[in-house]
Amino acid sequence: MADYKYIINKYKFIPGGLIEAYHAIQREYSYIPEDAVLAASKAFDIPYAKAYGVATFYSYFKVGKRGKNVIRICESAPCHVAGAADIVAALEKELNIKMGETTADGKFTLEFTECVGQCQATPVITINSKPYGDLSPDKIPAILAEY
């Protein structure tokens, strides 16, 4: 695993480099370590509050530990109407965690998200940004088995 300081330094002289660095860190760690936000504020010579604000403003970024595989379920109206609550219940049962939690082995994290642009196939989840649509609770175990 690459050190986040090394990753940050690759982007510190590039316009928009802070966001690019956060993307690269998150690809490496599955989240942005809090120490990386502090390191970014120093490297980009910006206040910590601004570096933290950028890291927490975008729903894609997550500051703090989370699982290797991030499962996000769309909570927009079309998915809700199509049965997203049943999918949430199936995920929670299968993984033995609640929304917003991470499995004890650090393998999965469950998160809500807004529309993922797959309204033609509701309800939808993404796992590490890969969409799975037209879901029903009975499809969840096979999807999780891929990971």
Here the tokens at position 9 are 């330094």
Q: Do 73 and 140 belong to one domain?
A: yes
* 64 assigned to some structural domain: no
pLDDT digits (tens, 9 = 90+) for 58-105: 877 888 888 889 999 988 888 888 999 999 999 999 999 999 999 999
Q: Do 85 and 135 belong to one domain?
A: yes
How many Cβ atoms are within 10 Å of 80's Cβ, its own excluded? 13
Q: Do 40 and 92 belong to one domain?
A: no
Q: What pLDDT, on a 0 to 100 scale, did the predictor assign at position 1?
A: 66
* 63 assigned to some structural domain: no
Q: Do 26 and 76 belong to one domain?
A: no
Which residue bears the tokens 């037209």? 134
* 62 assigned to some structural domain: no
Which residue bears the tokens 């199509």? 82
Which residue bears the tokens 């370590």? 33
Number of domains comprising the chain:
2
How many Cβ atoms are within 10 Å of 37's Cβ, its own excluded? 23
Asked if residue 123 has a cis previous peptide bond (ω within 30° of 0), the answer is: yes
Cα(96)–Cα(94) distance, rounded to whole angstroms?
A: 6
Q: Which domain, by its residues, includes 21?
A: 4-57
State which H helix or E strand residue 48 sits in: helix 48-57
Q: What pLDDT, on a 0 to 100 scale, did the predictor assign at position 147?
A: 94
Q: Do 75 and 138 belong to one domain?
A: yes
Give me the mean pLDDT over the 10-18 stretch. 94
Cα(135)–Cα(86) distance, rounded to whole angstroms?
A: 9
Q: What pLDDT, on a 0 to 100 scale, did the predictor assign at position 73?
A: 93
Four-CA torsion 139, 73, 118, 81, nearest 10 degrees: 80
Q: Do 42 and 81 belong to one domain?
A: no
Q: How many residues does the chain have?
A: 147
pLDDT digits (tens, 9 = 90+) for 97-123: 999 999 999 999 999 988 888 889 999
Q: What is the CATH number of the domain that holds 83?
A: 3.40.30.10
Are 8 and 39 a contacting pair, CB within 8 Å?
yes
Q: Say if residue 15's pLDDT is above 80.
A: yes
